[in-house]
């Protein structure tokens, strides 16, 4: 290559150097504004989140989050806010490695919570005057109560995304859930007769009706709930009698009490008269993971998949 084409005037070199330094400085400043070391967005703060407990004002991106909700914990980690979580309550056990403590959501100890110096607390319930006490300490708290519909779940995920600076992660989580659920619903066959089920919350025969979040999952799978026929709906969580279940003759029994109450297909078959139920005789007693079946967070598609997989080859009820 000719020498004259490799030479650059000194003034031009100096000018290029200044431009490079200026661009680097601007890029660094912009990056500091938009992205933290944890990968979450610092833009958009302060912000006000419209949650179940009203408008929640958050002055800056939270760096110390305490979760008093097992579902809330799963949502936070799913959207990418896990590194900001410093403590979770004693029921939060997923994903593996969460900073579980002795904090209780049922009987919250405000002093113990405040000891973690949180700049955001997430809770599913306002127990023991929790919210008022945290307000006195100027600690923002976001209520994410038990969902009644899938849309409630999606809304809470998006609220947490806004509250933590992870709106893209929240949007991705919701989209993934929607896509997985749509794919599962597409596998549900058209049935000539109703396929009935009984969902067991514990071995005292508490159950759910179709008017609950859990019931909505079964409706998506095209199943009919025997508990809908009970006169006392009890807010969607009635307690049935053994006689009621025996008369209803469900085609499927789903056990959401395998952990709490050690229930299995064998224990169900051993109950007086239950061995003659269609669900038992046909091998349609399905054990569930209690946690997955009771939480309304990112693992909802996992719950629906178990239901769909167990029932999609069934074309009609036993009559």
Residue 15 lies inside a defined structural domain of this protein? no
Residue 33 lies inside a defined structural domain of this protein? no
Q: Are residues 245 and 174 in the same domain?
A: no
Q: Are residues 164 and 51 in the same domain?
A: yes
Q: Are residues 51 and 171 in the same domain?
A: yes
Q: Are residues 80 and 116 in the same domain?
A: yes
How many whole angstroms separate alpha carbon 237 and alpha carbon 73? Answer: 24
Domain that holds residue 106: 47-181
Contact predicate 108/68, CB 8 Å: yes
Q: Are residues 71 and 164 in the same domain?
A: yes
Residue 11 lies inside a defined structural domain of this protein? no
Total domain count for the chain?
2
CA atoms within 13 A on the CB side of 18: 6
Average pLDDT, the chain: 89
High-pLDDT (> 70) share of the chain, %: 85
Choose between 317 and 279: higher pLDDT.
Answer: 279
Alpha carbon separation from 100 to 66, 143, 167 (Å, rounded): 10, 20, 25
The pLDDT score that the predictor gives to residue 194 is 95
How many whole angstroms separate alpha carbon 257 and alpha carbon 286? Answer: 11
Ranges of beta strands (E only) in 223-280 are: 224-225, 252-255
- Could you read off the pLDDT of 202-237 as tens digits, one per residue? 999 999 999 999 999 999 999 999 999 998 999 999
Q: Are residues 148 and 196 in the same domain?
A: no
Closest CA to 134 of 158, 116, 159, 160: 116
Residue 117 lies inside a defined structural domain of this protein? yes
Q: Are residues 195 and 161 in the same domain?
A: no
Q: What is the average pLDDT across 265-290?
A: 98
Q: Which stretches within 115-259 are classed as H helix?
A: 130-136, 150-164, 167-185, 213-220, 242-248
- Could you read off the pLDDT of 248-276 as tens digits, one per residue? 999 999 999 999 999 999 999 999 999 99
Closest CA to 108 of 136, 138, 88: 88
- Could you read off the pLDDT of 36-87 as tens digits, one per residue? 444 455 678 999 999 999 999 999 999 999 999 999 999 999 999 999 999 9
Q: Are residues 91 and 203 in the same domain?
A: no
> What order of strands is seen across the sheet that includes strand 285-287?
224-225, 196-200, 252-255, 285-287
Task: For 233, list phi and psi in degrees, rounded to 5.
Answer: -75, -20
pTM score, two decimals?
0.85
Residue 5 lies inside a defined structural domain of this protein? no
High-pLDDT (> 90) share of the chain, %: 83
Q: What is the DSSP string of 75-142?
A: HHHHHT-GGGEEEE-TT---STT--B-S--SSS--HHHHHTT--SEEEES---TTHHHHHHHTT--EE
The pLDDT score that the predictor gives to residue 314 is 85
Task: Tell me the CATH number at 79.
Answer: 3.40.50.1980
- Could you read off the pLDDT of 123-168 as tens digits, one per residue? 999 999 999 999 999 999 999 999 999 999 999 999 999 999 999 9
The pLDDT score that the predictor gives to residue 41 is 57
DSSP 73: H
The pLDDT score that the predictor gives to residue 43 is 75
The pLDDT score that the predictor gives to residue 159 is 98
Residue 316 lies inside a defined structural domain of this protein? no
Residue 8 lies inside a defined structural domain of this protein? no
Residue 277 lies inside a defined structural domain of this protein? yes
Q: Inform me whether the pLDDT recorded for 244 exceeds 50.
A: yes
User: Of 147, 181, 215, which one is at a domain's C-terminal end?
Assistant: 181
Q: Inform me whether the pLDDT recorded for 11 exceeds 80.
A: no
Q: Are residues 51 and 175 in the same domain?
A: yes
Q: Are residues 163 and 232 in the same domain?
A: no
User: Of 181, 216, 242, which one is at a domain's C-terminal end?
Assistant: 181
Q: Are residues 194 and 283 in the same domain?
A: yes
User: Of 181, 205, 229, which one is at a domain's C-terminal end?
Assistant: 181
């Amino acid at each position: 290559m000719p020498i004259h084409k490799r030479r650059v005037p000194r003034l031009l070199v100096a000018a290029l150097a200044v431009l490079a330094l200026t661009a680097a400085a601007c890029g660094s400043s912009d990056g500091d504004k938009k992205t933290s070391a944890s990968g979450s967005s610092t833009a958009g703060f302060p912000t006000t989140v419209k949650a179940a407990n009203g408008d929640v004002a958050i002055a800056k991106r939270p760096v110390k989050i305490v979760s008093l909700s097992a579902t809330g914990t799963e949502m936070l980690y799913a959207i990418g806010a896990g590194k900001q979580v410093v403590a979770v309550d004693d029921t939060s056990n997923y994903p593996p490695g969460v900073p579980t403590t002795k904090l209780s959501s049922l009987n919250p100890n405000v002093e113990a919570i405040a000891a973690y110096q949180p700049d955001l607390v997430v809770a599913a319930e306002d127990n023991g005057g929790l919210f008022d006490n945290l307000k006195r300490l100027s600690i923002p708290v976001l209520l994410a109560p038990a969902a009644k519909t899938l849309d409630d779940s999606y809304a809470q995920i998006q609220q947490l995304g806004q509250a933590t600076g992870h709106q893209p992660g929240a949007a991705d989580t919701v989209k993934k859930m929607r896509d997985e659920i749509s794919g599962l619903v597409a596998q549900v066959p058209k049935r000539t007769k109703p396929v009935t089920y009984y969902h067991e919350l514990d071995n005292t025969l508490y159950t759910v009706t179709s008017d609950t979040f859990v019931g909505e999952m079964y409706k998506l799978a095209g199943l009919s709930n025997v508990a809908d026929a009970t006169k006392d709906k009890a807010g969607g969580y009635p307690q049935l009698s053994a006689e009621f279940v025996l008369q209803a003759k469900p085609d499927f029994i789903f056990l959401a009490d395998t952990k709490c109450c050690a229930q299995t297909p064998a224990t169900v078959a051993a109950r007086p008269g239950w061995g003659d139920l269609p669900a038992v005789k046909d091998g349609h007693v399905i054990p569930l993971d209690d946690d997955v079946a009771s939480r309304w967070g990112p693992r909802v598609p996992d719950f629906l998949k178990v239901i769909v997989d167990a029932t999609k080859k069934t074309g009609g009820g036993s009559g």
